[in-house]
Amino acid sequence: MLTTIVYSSKATYPMENSELVAMLNKSRSSNEKNNITGLLLYEDGYFLQVLEGETQELEQLFENIRQDNRHYEIITYWKVEINERKFGDWKMGFINLDLPEYEHLAGFTDFLYRHDKPEEWTNNPSEIYMLLINFRAKFVTS
């Protein structure tokens, strides 16, 4: 059975791009071994991520994520069974929205700036999921 999880969290400290790349490389390697796919967005100390995979592997990964001391205030917005992957060929897509080349994405990043109001995200999980799918389709290369 396939499952998808969408969550956000706050970084414990502002992460340098090199730290994010190192974390991403490790995640991609692990995700490939466990057939996990998804997308990770980072902006201004906040993460937004969608993960897909077999339920058991995904549950184990998400427990590891919850134990990771690089972030806190983990909020799960969506956890559902899925029939097919939306990020099937991505070990882990990634975009750091703090980089200047992404400033033109205001229409998308505006949603991410609402992190001080998590109830807005909790009440709109499909909006978050569609945001991630739009990033996959338009702005992130695998």
The SS3 assignment for 5 reads strand
Q: In this structure, is residue 142 part of a structural domain? A: no
Confirm if 90 and 39 have CB atoms less than 8 A apart: yes
Q: In this structure, is residue 141 part of a structural domain? A: no
Query: Could you tell me the CATH number of the domain that includes residue 132?
Result: 3.30.70.100
Strand partners, 6: 50, 78
Query: What is d(CA 132, CA 130) in angstroms, rounded to the nearest whole number?
Result: 5
pLDDT of the chain along its 142 residues, tens only? Answer: 999 998 989 999 988 888 888 888 888 888 889 999 888 888 778 888 889 999 999 999 999 999 999 999 998 888 999 999 988 777 665 655 555 554 444 344 444 555 454 555 566 666 666 666 665 565 544 4
Q: In this structure, is residue 44 part of a structural domain? A: yes
List Cβ<8 Å contacts ≥24 apart for 16-21: 17/96, 17/99, 20/94, 20/96
Say how many domains are in the chain.
Answer: 1
pLDDT digits (tens, 9 = 90+) for 83-123: 999 887 776 656 555 555 544 443 444 445 554 545 555 66
**Range(s) of the domain holding residue 100:** 2-136
Q: How many CB atoms lie within 10 A of CB 105?
A: 16
What's the whole-model pTM score? 0.73
